[in-house]
Amino acid sequence: MSIAPAIAPRAKRRLRVFQALGLALLGALACKGLVEGGYYAFQFSQDFQWSPAVLLSEGRDAFAWYLNGNADGRILMSQEPNYLHLIYVLLLPFAALPWPLAKMAWALCSAGMGVVGGFWLAREAGLRGWAALAALATFVAASPFAHALGAGQQSLLVLFALTWAWRTRASALGGAAFAVAACKYSFAPPALLWLLLERRWLALAAAALTGLAGLAAYAWLCGSNPLALLTEPLQVSAQATRIGLADVMSLARALQFSAGPVYLAGLAVAGLGVALLWRRRRQLDDLAILALLCQLSLLALFHHLYDYVLLAPLFFRALSFPPMLRAVTLVYVGWFWFVVQFIDTAPIMKTPAAIAAMALASAAVFVSLAMAGPLQRRRMLLRPATSAAAL
């Protein structure tokens, strides 16, 4: 008598047990990341833009306040206002709360936006059931998620808004979401160039109008000249930002280039990367393009470890890559998500050699994925008629 029929159910049961144990472990790591991130958020939230929003609620220009010396230390910790004007208008409800409650509320909102953004990406990557839960837990367990949460950073908001914008970029709603994501403008250039190449005029017009509405509201609230306000975020950024993690701008700063060449180098690499993706667009699905645009931003423009939550589209999409490409991509993502946190504060990490090595590795992964051949799934973020391949 054959024993194969008896073995098959037993093997399935064992597989389910291993799946359950693996998911339980990932779930525990995700909970650990959330608890640690939440704890540090309640203790610090040093980058949360609460104090500039409070100044705006009082009718003061937070940018000018910082540039003029931050009188009375009103801008707390590392909350330098180097984001676009719209974010401070959006954060006015938090400014109405006392600092302890405001940072708790922002931590909860950030965690929620991160989980929802990850859920969207898992769905768009075609993941369901055990695979979707395991991938989402891995994302939440990653150190950039906890770092962004604990620092009160805006990175999880950017991931949420950019994913929403990409899903709906054929509409005005997508443009408004892109304007929110562009408040942290180091992520904006690659996606902006892509929308221009795709001729998403409705989304671009909506994004411009939303950004201008934010500028107008900011100017009205603080009584400043809108034209004078235009360049103030960049002025603050020039003073407040230094050397990041693994990007071209940070490398140029580590080599002591002046401000002009630093920005030009980053924007040039971003432009070249978008040009390569545009040439290869018919070989890539929408999620792969979004993933590579996010990775390109991390490679070209100034970013810290908490910004590497924007590797989430690449992580979720990589799970269905061909085996060798999947392995290389997951090792790359794993380096930033689970290894760098242990060495990020080492002095060597701010040296030109270390930054160049990681930037070159990022460039190699980017080019390899862009040139790898068809990376297409049957299911797309947008309908095929509105995808880049149809243009």
DSSP assignments along 121-176, one per residue: HHHHTT--HHHHHHHHHHHHHSHHHHHHHHHT-SHHHHHHHHHHHHHTTTSHHHHH
Q: What is the mean pLDDT of residues 322-331?
A: 96
Gap between the Cα atoms of 298 and 359, Å rounded: 9
| Residues 48-66 pLDDT 10s | 999 999 999 999 999 999 9
Paired with 284 in beta bridges are 375
For the chain, give the number of residues: 391
The alpha carbons of the chain give a radius of gyration, in whole angstroms, of 22
In this predicted structure, the answer to whether residue 371 has a pLDDT above a threshold of 80 is yes
Q: What is the mean pLDDT of residues 253-267?
A: 95
CA atoms within 13 A on the CB side of 229: 24
Ranges of each domain in the chain: 4-390
Gap between the Cα atoms of 247 and 343, Å rounded: 17
Whose CA is closest to 277, among 189, 351, 343? 189
| Residues 74-91 pLDDT 10s | 999 999 999 999 999 999
- Burial class of residue 126 (count of CB atoms within 10 Å of its CB; 0-12, 13-18, 19+): middle
In this predicted structure, the answer to whether residue 373 has a pLDDT above a threshold of 80 is no
Q: Minimum mean pLDDT among 12-26, 158-172, 207-221, 334-348: which range? A: 12-26
Paired with 375 in beta bridges are 284
Whose CA is closest to 52, among 190, 236, 191, 192? 236
- 343 against 380, higher pLDDT: 343
In this predicted structure, the answer to whether residue 379 has a pLDDT above a threshold of 70 is no
Q: Is the Cα torsion angle 119, 125, 128, 131 positive or negative in sign?
A: negative
| Phi and psi torsions of 10, nearest 5° | -65, -40
pLDDT value of position 18: 84
| Residues 282-315 pLDDT 10s | 999 999 999 999 999 999 999 999 999 999 999 9
DSSP-based three-state secondary structure for 375: strand
**Between the ranges 232-246, 329-343, 360-374, where is the mean pLDDT highest?**
329-343
Q: What is the mean pLDDT of residues 260-284?
A: 96
pLDDT value of position 8: 73
Residues 6+ apart with CB under 8 A from 353: none
